[in-house]
Amino acid sequence: MEIIGGADPVPNVSLHTMNELIQATTVRRGATWYLVAEEPFRFASGGQIPRVEVAYETWGTLNAERSNGVLILTGLSPDAHAASSKENPEDGWWEPMIGPGKPIDTDRHFVICVNSLGSCKGSTGPSCTNPDSGDQYRLSFPDLVLQDIASTAQMVLKSLGIEQLRALVGPSMGGMSCLALMKQIPDISRHFLAISTAARAEPFGIAIRSLQREMIVRDPHWQDGAYTIDDWPENGMRLARKLGMISYRSEPEWRKRFGRELQNRYNERLFGMHFSVESYLESAARKFIRNFDPCCYLYLSRAIDMYDISEGYENMEAAFADIRLESARVIGVDTDFLWPPHQQREICQMFSGHGIKCHLEMLPSIHGHDSFLVDYKRFCPAVGSYLDNLG
């Protein structure tokens, strides 16, 4: 068997997910591995799909004990290409963070980034073809929760022969997916780095995400999910992305960056763009509109809202009780009002309350929720200082 990218996926592996035995094989296209199970995959909701693919990329080398794995679960929109590699030299979405000598040091760790189930970026999602019907799933895709994303991450780890990770790394939605994974396998990781995330969705974020979803489904081109390439809910996606940008960034950042500067990039029209901040939002929206599937966006956005680690428990303390970690680090940002500071404090308090060594680091970044993707000056040392000293 060829060892590529430092890993050695088992060619045909039996996996337990949702108490179902699944046979899976691993194939590679470019830098991306695909774990493919040609058997029904069952969702937490009870729904199922006839086959599932889980896309992931890896960096570094898995050691003989298979004990140096670091798994990154992502926010809503990124793919598995978190960093460049020989097979795909294009910059990844977390390029300054991952690589030899970088904060997530591929000389030390075998780094895995899994694309979320439900996404349109490699793993099976609503925009994929249902082999039974030959059509895209769209709204026939089963209800998705973050526990399902965690299940597919489990499958990847098992196929790589990793029983326990050195560390889980979860920014934004990915932090929730990490918590879901730890609830499924309490000792799945020795360490956990939570970044600008939360243990449950709260109403302010729910309101913003709910409004983004409504922008899409109220676009006449949405057509109850029957949009086509030529008849796309462009305006819904445009509005949703602009609200996304507003909620991902911050008031002080834009004050310093744009002030009342005028724009000349787009033609002024009545009630149209006048200020630079408006053309900035338009540019960001245009990059997104055709680059993300509307249906996948809705499924993943809703999955965030539905997540509450304490669901089914008397309180949040009880929900954290069974998680086995040696340590955790929680990094948050002062200006993040979408995944706000008190939710970072809460995660840290929960771990500390159960005797898990946990440190909270609130960074004074002005870039809001997106700081972990922008403010590398602050985030690289914060991430590196934790992962370099796991002991």
Active site residues: 172, 336, 369
Question: Per CB under 8 A, does 362 bind its own copies?
Answer: no
Question: Per CB under 8 A, does 367 bind its own copies?
Answer: no
Question: Per CB under 8 A, does 259 bind its own copies?
Answer: yes
Question: Per CB under 8 A, does 83 bind its own copies?
Answer: no
Which residue stretches of 230-364 are H helix?
A: 234-248, 251-257, 276-289, 294-306, 316-320, 341-353
* Cα–Cα distances in angstroms (integers) from residue 3 to residues 36, 60, 163, 308, 388, in the given order: 18, 12, 19, 39, 26
CB of 126 vs its own copies, minimal distance in Å? 12
Query: Any residues with CB less than 8 A from the CB of 323 and at least 6 apart, and which?
Result: 179, 182, 183, 186, 351, 354, 356
What separation, in Å, do the N-terminal and C-terminal C-alpha atoms of the chain show?
Answer: 32
CB of 116 vs its own copies, minimal distance in Å? 18
Indicate the length of the chain as a whole number. Answer: 391
CB of 145 vs its own copies, minimal distance in Å? 13
**Among residues 276 and 327, whose Cβ is nearest to its own copies?**
276
Interface with its own copies (CB under 8 A), residue from 191, 213, 329, 369: 213
Interface with its own copies (CB under 8 A), residue from 302, 329, 367, 378: 302
* Cα–Cα distances in angstroms (integers) from residue 351 to residues 70, 165, 389, in the given order: 20, 18, 19
Rounded CA-CA distance 114/273 in Å is 38
Interface with its own copies (CB under 8 A), residue from 8, 20, 163, 202: 202
Question: Per CB under 8 A, does 309 bind its own copies?
Answer: no
Find out whether 73 and 116 touch, Cβ atoms under 8 Å. Answer: yes
Question: Per CB under 8 A, does 293 bind its own copies?
Answer: no
Q: Quickly count: other Cβ atoms within 10 Å of residue 346's Cβ.
A: 18
Q: Which residues bind its own copies (CB under 8 A)?
A: 139, 200-204, 206-208, 210-211, 213-215, 217-218, 220, 235, 238-239, 242-243, 245-246, 250-251, 254-255, 257-260, 270-271, 273-278, 281, 298, 302, 305-306, 308, 337, 340
